Structure 1
């Protein structure tokens, strides 16, 4: 479904991504794990058009989308839930969700998407008129995911969904991610919680200083001595 081929990205003189290549097969959860600053977010931002690679290409469902504007990429069915949620704190929950469907001018379709999101996240329905900034961290993460789902993506990019959440909420968010995948959404997951990410993923990539250093079946990576030592505390 998605191929990233030998992508190089620079921030000024800094060579951030040094030939990243990865594949996301349709129907799978693929995870990128690695330390802070390894290049995980830069990879997602390049895929969804927020960063332009100096070389290499991004191919989504057989189409070269390298350098396309982000709204065009969203229209094609690829959406990102950014790190840090980036919700609109001074707007109510329902308006945050509406913004997720800003490209869709069909009101009944938007209403249908909204209903679908409320069914998936009942807490958002309960709080739909509440200001988004007054939600708990877990609810804000649900809102960020719900907003992304409003555009009915076929591929969802998730950037650090467990960041700052309590262990109980982390479990809840990960079970939602697994459910979304089981219902047909393909997922590329960037996550510092390597154990949780690999436990729900089909395939994993380990990123270090802008390069993929390990790749393979998620279960195998969970058992890999290098991964255990570097990311799983033993």
Structure 2
């Protein structure tokens, strides 16, 4: 399988603090890759630097064979790499439908946009019910669905998901993870950053564990989930 994303020796600093100390990993077409680690391990920083929302000190990022290390974020979106950030960040004063349409702002294939909107409503029936409601009035879970739906409206080939289950009730967490698997089965490759290590591993092909800005371990999710040291550190023993 070809690499869709390659991250090589990525270093990022915040002032004198080295947040990423030269991490390398890859994502193959069709995979779900999970990045797990404690708070402050560098997971969100990794996604931000891939999307070029923060400056890299050194290292490279390649997407579909093209070097995107210093590419403008909007060009990265146009290339098919879409980032659904932590904390949902929906447009509170726009309706659900308007938020979804914002996801397609770089597109002009009107008929296909309509079909994709319908597809998002099939994945997230609650968004259809609330299409005319202001996004700011939705529950946390509904806002997460909206953020993911808006990301899908950009036609991603690779979807970066940052903490999609954060702050959600367990029943909603299950729902969100089911939908992530559906999105992947529909042909979208996924790089998932997630605090819920067990959930993240249970749907991933491969896992990279980040510790204080370095990859401390990696491997097949089905093997890692049974690893004693991983269990102790991330799965509550």
- Return the TM-score normalized by structure 2: 0.96
Separation of aligned partners in 1, 2:62 and 2:178: 29
| Aligned 1:7-22 pairs, distance under 5 A | 7-22=10-25
Q: Find the partner of 2:122 among 119, 123, 141.
A: 119
Corresponding position of 1:87: 90
Q: Find the partner of 1:176 among 161, 176, 179.
A: 179
**Count of residues in Structure 1 that have an aligned counterpart in Structure 2:** 234
SS of the aligned residue for 2:225 comes to: helix
**Offset from partner CA, 1:172-221 (integer Å, 9 cap, x none):** 00000011111111000000000000000000000011000000000111
Separation of aligned partners in 2, 1:227 and 1:69: 37
Q: Find the partner of 1:65 among 61, 65, 68.
A: 68
After TM superposition, the structure 1 stretch with the greater mean CA deviation from structure 2, 186-195 or 12-21, is 12-21
Separation of aligned partners in 1, 2:226 and 2:112: 45
SS of the aligned residue for 1:101 comes to: coil
Checking the alignment, whether the CA contact within 8 Å between 1:52 and 1:66 is kept in structure 2 is no
Checking the alignment, whether the CA contact within 8 Å between 1:3 and 1:58 is kept in structure 2 is yes
Corresponding position of 1:206: 209
SS of the aligned residue for 1:116 comes to: helix
Q: Find the partner of 1:226 among 224, 229, 235.
A: 229
**Offset from partner CA, 1:9-44 (integer Å, 9 cap, x none):** 111221110001011011010000001111000000
SS of the aligned residue for 2:26 comes to: strand
Separation of aligned partners in 2, 1:217 and 1:181: 17
Q: CA RMSD in A?
A: 0.9
Corresponding position of 1:33: 36
After TM superposition, the structure 1 stretch with the greater mean CA deviation from structure 2, 102-111 or 156-165, is 102-111
- Return the TM-score normalized by structure 1: 0.98
**Offset from partner CA, 1:68-105 (integer Å, 9 cap, x none):** 11110000001011101011112110111111111113
Corresponding position of 2:108: 105
SS of the aligned residue for 1:20 comes to: strand
TM-superposed CA distance for 1:108, in Å, is 2.9
TM-superposed CA distance for 1:48, in Å, is 0.9
- 2:36 is the counterpart of 1:49: no
Corresponding position of 1:76: 79
Q: Which runs of 4+ in 1 moved over 6 A?
A: none
